[in-house]
Each structure stands twice: as structure tokens, then as C-alpha cells.
Amino acid sequence: MKLKFTKMHGAGNDFVVIDAINQKIDFTPAQWQKLGDRRFGVGADQILVVEKSDVPGCDFRYRIFNNDGGEVEQCGNGSRAFVKFVVEKGLTSARKITVETMAGIIAPSLEADGSITVDMGAPVLDPAQVPFVAEGLQGQPEGRETLWPLMLELGGQRESVQVSVVSMGNPHAVQVVADVDAAPVELVGPLIEHHVRFPKRVNAGFMQLVNRQHVKLRVFERGAGETLACGTGACAAVVAGIRRGLLDSPVRVDARGGQLSIAWAGEGQPVYLTGPAVTVFEGEINI
């Protein structure tokens, strides 16, 4: 079939966005992979699908596929692209929408100046629900937060790293590093992503503290590798930093592909993600 798509990005985290309200979509994992493939397909970190929602009060349903073909629960940068897409395509005239995701309901708003803020919902902090297997491990209490040791096999050596575990609908393991540019993201990221204590795998964040309201962040994403920015990763990192008493809301997050801003008022409260969304081009592919 010929599929119409839009290529978009949010701070360099790139997406193929598909209107599945006006096109019939029933793809296999191999077809999602082809759309995400930078050589044999279009190329993207994630493929975002716009559908109608059956949930009362929800404007749309938002589905997310990593470029490895797997469907996942949430994507923060993608949610900004989502609202821009449905407004630009005339699928809604509202600028604030409610969107059903696999992880619950989120509410992105497109402002007149083009900026987009998303109510991402409250973070999940119970390790078992991340999910993270904490049994048998001794967490290190630090303020109200617990840091968990993760044992990694690095070139025949065993090394322990300390991570905070947070779910923003999808799982994150965040560690603080002294210098994010020197952090071994490509080496350590896959080991954390596939660590046995994360039964659904995990997104691995590496955060450098610049000051109490400014961090630098790199994320090795589950199912996509290192991306130029990760919206839920930025939310999780800031939540972890605030809980550890290292950061104060709002926090500027510098990713390699752009800048995000995260605000969080504390436990039980929603996380607000603000940043850009850009339409790059429209296309059609035989799939």
C-alpha cells in the first residue's frame, strides 16, 4: 500500500507521524521497522500513530512504536509533535487536546507562539511498578529518594552504578554523571537497557548537574539507541533530581538536539514538559 506520512522532530528526537483516522493501518513489526529504518525506509527514532479514541472525553488515541518495531507506552517529545500534527492537518480546531495513550491520558497544548506544553501526568515512583526488581537489593537512602545499585559487566570487570528508577508511563533509570559528554553512553546504555532487573527493559539516562535549575542530559533509549533528546527521559531525570534534593523546579534540560523545560511540584503532581515540535517534510512510501 501507499502510505502518507509526515516527518517531524522535537529537539532532534525524530518521528514518522501517520494519520490512521483517514488511512487504514495494520502493520507487522517488520513494517514499523521499515518506516523507522534510515536506509531502507524513511528513518525515525519513533513512529507515531494518530487514531480516534473510544475513551469518553479523549480527543485522540496516540500509539508509539520504537524503530525496533516494538509498541511502547509513552513518548514525551512525540506528544508535542502529535498536537502540532492534528492541528496542522485540520483533525481538530482545539489547541489543547486530551490524548489516550497506553500509559494513560496526557494533555498537550499548542500555544500561539508555537511552543507546546504537555501535562504528562504524575510520575510512578514505586520500583515494582516501573517495573524494577528491587528485591534482594539494598537501596541507598538519600533524602526521600532511594538510589539503587546496578551491577554491570564491563569488559570482564564488574562495576556498580547507582540509579534512580522512575516511570513516566515508560521505564527510566537515571544516573548522575560528572561530565555528560565524556559519559560512556553507547557502552553502558545497552547494558542498563537489557539489565535483568528491568523486566520490560529500560531507557537509560545520564544527567550532569549544571546548577539547581539546569542540567545536561543524554538518554540511551529502549528500542531506539541514543537519541538527540528524550522527553520522558527529561521528565524522569528532573523528578529524580528533585527527589534527591539536587534540583528545584522548573529545570532547563539541555539535550544534544535542543532545549526542554520541566516543571514538577512534587509527589502526586503532574510533570509539565515544554519544548519545540517541527514539521520537516511530507511524504508517501510503499509499505
Ligand X SMILES: N[C@@H](CCC[C@H](N)C(=O)O)C(=O)O
| Residues annotated in a binding site for substrate | 13, 46, 66, 76-77, 170, 203, 221-222, 231-232
Q: Active site residue: 130, 166, 230, 234, which one?
A: 230
CA–CA gap between residue 81 and residue 74 (Å, rounded): 13
The residues, any chain, with a CB within 8 Å of residue 272's CB and separated by 6 or more, are 117, 118, 119, 120, 262, 263, 264
Backbone angles phi, psi at 51, to 5 degrees: -130, 170
Our answer to whether residue 58 is catalytic in this structure is: no
Part in contact with ligand X (CB under 6 A); list of ranges 100-108, 138-146, 183-191, 216-224: 216-224
Scored b (16 or more CB within 10 A) or e, 97-126 reads bbbbbebeebbbbbeeeeebbbbbbbbbbe
User: How many residues interact with ligand X (rule CB under 6 A)?
Assistant: 19
CA–CA gap between residue 137 and residue 133 (Å, rounded): 8
Part in contact with ligand X (CB under 6 A); list of ranges 47-55, 100-108, 182-190, 228-236: 228-236
Q: Which is nearer to ligand X, 147 or 219 (CB)?
A: 219
What size, in residues, is the chain? 287
Q: Is 75 a binder of ligand X (CB under 6 A)?
A: yes
Q: Is 47 a binder of ligand X (CB under 6 A)?
A: no
Q: How far is the CB of 223 from ligand X (least distance, A)?
A: 5
Q: Active site residue: 16, 75, 150, 185, which one?
A: 75
Q: Which of 121, 205, 231, 257 binds ligand X (CB under 6 A)?
A: 231
Our answer to whether residue 230 is catalytic in this structure is: yes
CB atoms within 10 A of CB 161: 20
Residue 50: CA count within 13 A, CB half-sphere: 29
Helix (H) or strand (E) holding 233: helix 231-243
Part in contact with ligand X (CB under 6 A); list of ranges 31-39, 69-77, 183-191, 253-261: 69-77
Residues marked active site are found at 75, 230
- Where on the chain is the footprint of ligand X (CB under 6 A)? 13, 45-46, 66, 72, 75-78, 170, 203, 221-224, 227, 230-232
